[in-house]
């Protein structure tokens, strides 16, 4: 007869004794685990090039000191912000190097086109505003930079943009961006902006650029020719004006002198008239008739056959007796 193995299962009392003995230990371990998890979540570290924003019930506060910090679990939330210098390009793709004409193509004050590439450096100045003042502060900064770049480049000539005026343009753009950032206050600070490259645009635009230059040169040539003609004609016109003025002045003086002479003659005649009215009237009548009929000779016969009076008085010997 085969031997039967007999299994001794733990009774209910044994199980109760087990839990009674080890249950407290398990509960202590769970509590210790929870305390450890909570303790680990209550501390955070800020590096030298970081800042943090701690929100308590939605209220944000900046933490700027590097090192180990404490927060209340669940109630407080921490967001770390990198404060190192960062940057983005305008006018080209930093990864591929390809030009982005919608950003780089600009028009100058002398109505020429030019491709200009920029690199903008920035950093977080206020972590709270950088996180909560706007949805995307970097995009806002880029739009501000584009606006300042276009308005500034548009006030310079193409030669200045491509060659000698780069540093002045960079300085003007930087001042403009700083002023606009102060107004918008998005928590970012402009570190620097530099012109990476400036060159004429693509072949198609270059052809149009050359056409504009040709038209501009033709315009300048026409203006120069007009100025040359003006410079040639103006002295002659001025000389003619001087001549006319001199002639007019001479005629004026002549007329004035004649008027003075007539006045003097009239005064003398009036003086004679006041002394001898009848004789003066007759003499004026005869002189008037002499002017009207210069070929007429008047012979006055007094009735005395021995006396003759001739008006106008002529030499008696001229042409014989009348």
Where is average pLDDT lowest: 59-63, 242-246, 262-266, 272-276?
Answer: 272-276
Interval 131-159: pLDDT, tens = 998 889 999 999 999 999 999 999 999 88
The upper half-sphere exposure of residue 270, i.e. CA atoms within 13 Å in the direction of its Cβ, equals 6
Structure tokens at 230: 């003006």
d(CA 134, CA 163): 38
The better pLDDT of the pair 73, 178 is held by: 178
What integer is the mean pLDDT of 287-312? Answer: 60
Cβ count near 126 (within 10 Å): 19
Q: Give the highest mean pLDDT range of 6-15, 111-120, 142-151, 303-312.
A: 142-151
Q: Which residues contact 81 (CB under 8 A, 6 or more apart)?
A: 50, 51, 52, 53, 124, 127, 130, 131
The better pLDDT of the pair 143, 288 is held by: 143
**CATH for 86-201?**
3.30.479.30
Residue 317 confidence (pLDDT): 42
Where is average pLDDT lowest: 136-140, 199-203, 297-301?
Answer: 297-301
Cβ count near 64 (within 10 Å): 11
Q: Which residues contact 137 (CB under 8 A, 6 or more apart)?
A: 129, 130, 186, 187, 188
What integer is the mean pLDDT of 89-100? Answer: 91
Residue 286 confidence (pLDDT): 76
Strands (E), 76-216: 76-82, 86-90, 105-107, 113-124, 188-199
**pTM higher than 0.85 for the full model?**
no
Q: Which residues contact 216 (CB under 8 A, 6 or more apart)?
A: 110
Quick one: angle between helices 137-153 and 166-184, nearest 10?
Answer: 140
Say if CB 70 and CB 80 are below 8 A apart: no
pLDDT of 110 > 90? The answer is no
Banded pLDDT at 1 (limits 50, 70, 90): very low
d(CA 90, CA 193): 10
The better pLDDT of the pair 67, 146 is held by: 146
Q: Give the highest mean pLDDT range of 22-31, 43-52, 123-132, 264-273.
A: 123-132
DSSP notation for 183-224: HH--SEEEEEEEEEEEE---HHHHHHHHHHHHHHHHHHHHHH
């Amino acid at each position: 007869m085969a031997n039967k193995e007999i299994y001794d299962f733990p009774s209910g009392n044994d199980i109760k004794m087990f839990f009674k003995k080890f249950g407290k230990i398990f509960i202590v371990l769970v509590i210790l685990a929870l305390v450890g998890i909570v303790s680990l979540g209550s501390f955070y570290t800020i590096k030298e090039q970081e800042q943090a924003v701690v929100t308590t019930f939605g209220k944000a506060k900046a933490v700027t000191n590097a090192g180990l910090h404490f927060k209340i679990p669940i109630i407080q939330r921490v967001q770390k912000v990198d404060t190192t210098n960062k940057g983005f390009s305008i006018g080209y793709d930093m990864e591929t190097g390809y030009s982005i004409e919608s950003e780089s193509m600009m028009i100058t004050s002398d109505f020429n086109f030019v491709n200009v590439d920029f690199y903008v450096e920035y950093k977080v100045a206020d972590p709270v505003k950088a996180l909560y003042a706007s949805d995307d502060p970097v995009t806002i900064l880029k739009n501000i930079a584009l606006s300042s770049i276009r308005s500034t480049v548009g006030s310079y000539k193409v030669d200045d943009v491509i060659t000698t005026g780069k540093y002045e343009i960079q300085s003007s753009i930087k001042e403009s961006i700083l002023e606009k950032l102060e107004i918008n206050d998005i928590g970012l600070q402009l570190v620097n902006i530099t012109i990476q490259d400036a060159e004429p645009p693509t072949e198609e635009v270059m052809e149009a650029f050359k056409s504009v230059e040709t038209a501009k040169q033709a315009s300048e040539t026409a203006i120069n020719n007009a100025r040359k003609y003006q410079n040639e004609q103006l002295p002659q016109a001025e000389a003619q004006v001087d001549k006319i003025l001199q002639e007019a002045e001479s005629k004026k003086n002549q007329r004035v002198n004649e008027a003075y002479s007539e006045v003097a003659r009239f005064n003398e005649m009036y003086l004679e008239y006041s002394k001898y009215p009848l004789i003066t009237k007759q003499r004026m009548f005869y002189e008037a008739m002499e002017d009207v009929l210069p070929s007429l000779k008047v012979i006055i016969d007094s009735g005395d056959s021995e006396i003759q009076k001739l008006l106008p008085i002529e030499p008696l010997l001229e042409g014989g007796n009348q």
